[in-house]
């Protein structure tokens, strides 16, 4: 059975190598790439209505970031604006649509990184912050630290006048039903948001602005049924999120424990910086090969300092979209075609 599962994983990995990645002209002014999670996302388990809802949400998110970039705003602001749209949507496992923990709560993680300065901000395990990416940005800009967690992070949010909400704001019946369904089978089972029939995910964005600066951000509710204050890769700089003007910006989604062990995001940038890999080559090397070899699954979005973008995932699908100044209309992908 394990052998069969591995074969299937490799089949998907091989298939996803053929996913068309965006290739853009080298003199573009700005570029933006986003994801809304990777996983069991196939045409068979998608209705036309659901697909249309995702396409609309991805478009709205891209447009928010594009507005910032087109008017000369920074990559950091564009990443924040883009991710906030997805955090406010119940479709994604971030902000409003976050999955539930083992004890029926929602614990949110997020990170943002500036490729110009290597400054970064991250938060983990917050339960009352409406837009975690906004708090991650405040940690970067307004504190001497990189990462804050739990009650302390919320105290900092209060001091910074970041919008706090009642934990009930994050209640959605669909997510609660997912938790109950998982617990019925095995009260301790962990579920990646996209396993089985589930098609909702962590969100991320990478942007290049008119000054040539890169930024990356990621926001998530983590894994359904997580406990003990479990934190995944998304808020860990170098694992789920990374940006450096010397190489690239990356945001990932998938089984966080594997992304942490491989420091996936930094690894991709390192291959580009030290070995001269293209964004696509580096993403494929790390996701298709190394991540698959150790049994992890998921995907990444990558953007290099010239605005060349790449997607790579070893799952059946990944919600993804991009645009840039030369091709300003959203190009959206969902399945592994
Ligand atoms: N990477 C996230 C985590 O492990 C989950 C996801 O991408 O959906 O927390």
Q: What is the pLDDT of residues 208-223, one digit of tens each?
A: 999 999 999 999 999 9
Q: What is the pLDDT of residues 259-290, one digit of tens each?
A: 999 999 999 999 999 999 999 999 999 999 99
Tokens matching residue 230: 């479990």
pLDDT at residue 28 in the model: 82
The length of the chain, given as a count of residues? 337
pTM for the predicted model, two decimal places: 0.90
- Of 36-50, 124-138, 261-275, 279-293, the poorest mean pLDDT is in 36-50
User: Is the minimum distance from the CB of 224 to ligand 1 under 6 angstroms?
Assistant: no
Please give the number of the atom of ligand 1 that sits closest to the Cα of 222: 9
User: Is the minimum distance from the CB of 253 to ligand 1 under 6 angstroms?
Assistant: yes
Identify the helix (H) or strand (E) that includes residue 314.
none
Bigger pLDDT: 40 vs 71: 71
For the cut 60, the answer to whether the pLDDT of residue 18 exceeds it is no
Tokens matching residue 237: 């700089």
Tokens matching residue 31: 């570029």
Task: Give residue for tokens 């910074």.
Answer: 160
Give the residue-averaged pLDDT of 128-148: 98
Confidence of residue 327 (pLDDT cuts 50, 70, 90): very high
User: Is the minimum distance from the CB of 89 to ligand 1 under 6 angstroms?
Assistant: no
Active site (annotated) includes residue 292? no
For the cut 90, the answer to whether the pLDDT of residue 113 exceeds it is yes
Radius of gyration of the chain from Cα atoms? 18
Mutate to test the pocket of ligand 1, among 97, 204, 232, 319 (most ligand atoms within 8 A of CB): 232
Structural contact between residues 108 and 215, judged by C-beta atoms closer than 8 angstroms: no
Confidence of residue 173 (pLDDT cuts 50, 70, 90): confident
Confidence of residue 29 (pLDDT cuts 50, 70, 90): very high
For the cut 60, the answer to whether the pLDDT of residue 6 exceeds it is no
- Of 61-70, 194-203, 323-332, the poorest mean pLDDT is in 194-203
pLDDT at residue 245 in the model: 97
Query: Beta strands 317-324 and 31-39: pairing type?
Result: antiparallel
pLDDT at residue 186 in the model: 73
User: Is the minimum distance from the CB of 97 to ligand 1 under 6 angstroms?
Assistant: no
Instruction: Measure the CA–CA gap between 312 and 21, rounded to whole angstroms.
Output: 8
Q: Which of 82, 172, 202, 263 is catalytic?
A: 202
Please give the number of the atom of ligand 1 that sits closest to the Cα of 226: 9
User: DSSP assignment of 231-255, as one string?
Assistant: --STTSBTTTEEE-TTSEEEEEEE-
Mutate to test the pocket of ligand 1, among 223, 242, 287, 299 (most ligand atoms within 8 A of CB): 223
Give the C-alpha distances (Å, rounded to integers) separating 62 from 34, 110, 165, 269: 7, 19, 25, 23
């Amino acid at each position: 059975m394990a052998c069969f599962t591995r074969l299937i994983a490799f089949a998907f990995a091989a298939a996803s190598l053929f996913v068309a990645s965006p290739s853009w002209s080298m003199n573009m002014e700005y570029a933006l790439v986003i994801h809304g999670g990777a996983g069991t996302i196939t045409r068979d388990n998608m209705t036309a209505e659901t697909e249309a809802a995702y396409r609309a949400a991805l478009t709205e998110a891209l447009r928010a970031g594009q507005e910032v970039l087109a008017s000369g705003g920074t990559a950091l602001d564009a990443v924040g604006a883009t991710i906030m749209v997805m955090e406010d949507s119940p479709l994604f496992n971030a902000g409003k649509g976050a999955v539930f923990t083992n004890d029926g709560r929602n614990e949110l993680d997020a990170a943002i990184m500036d490729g110009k300065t290597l400054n970064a901000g991250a938060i983990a395990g917050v339960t009352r912050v409406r837009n975690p990416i906004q708090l991650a940005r405040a940690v970067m800009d307004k504190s001497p630290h990189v990462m804050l967690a739990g009650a302390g992070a919320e105290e900092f949010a209060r001091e910074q006048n970041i919008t706090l909400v009642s934990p009930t704001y994050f209640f959605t019946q669909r997510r609660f039903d997912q938790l109950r369904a998982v617990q019925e089978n095995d009260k301790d089972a962990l579920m990646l948001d996209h396993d089985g029939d589930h098609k909702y995910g962590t969100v991320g964005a990478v942007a290049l602005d008119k000054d040539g600066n890169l930024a990356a951000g990621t926001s998530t509710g983590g894994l359904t049924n997580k406990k003990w204050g479990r934190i995944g890769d998304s808020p860990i700089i170098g694992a789920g999120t990374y940006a450096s003007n010397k190489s690239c910006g990356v945001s990932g989604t998938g089984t966080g424990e594997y992304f942490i062990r491989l420091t996936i995001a930094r690894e991709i940038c390192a291959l580009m910086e030290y070995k001269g890999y293209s964004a696509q080559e580096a993403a494929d090397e790390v996701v298709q090969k190394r991540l698959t070899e150790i049994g992890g699954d998921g995907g990444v979005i990558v953007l290099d300092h010239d605005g060349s973008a790449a997607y790579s995932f070893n799952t059946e699908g990944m919600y993804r979209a991009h645009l840039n100044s030369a091709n300003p209309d959203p190009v959206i992908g969902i399945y592994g075609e």
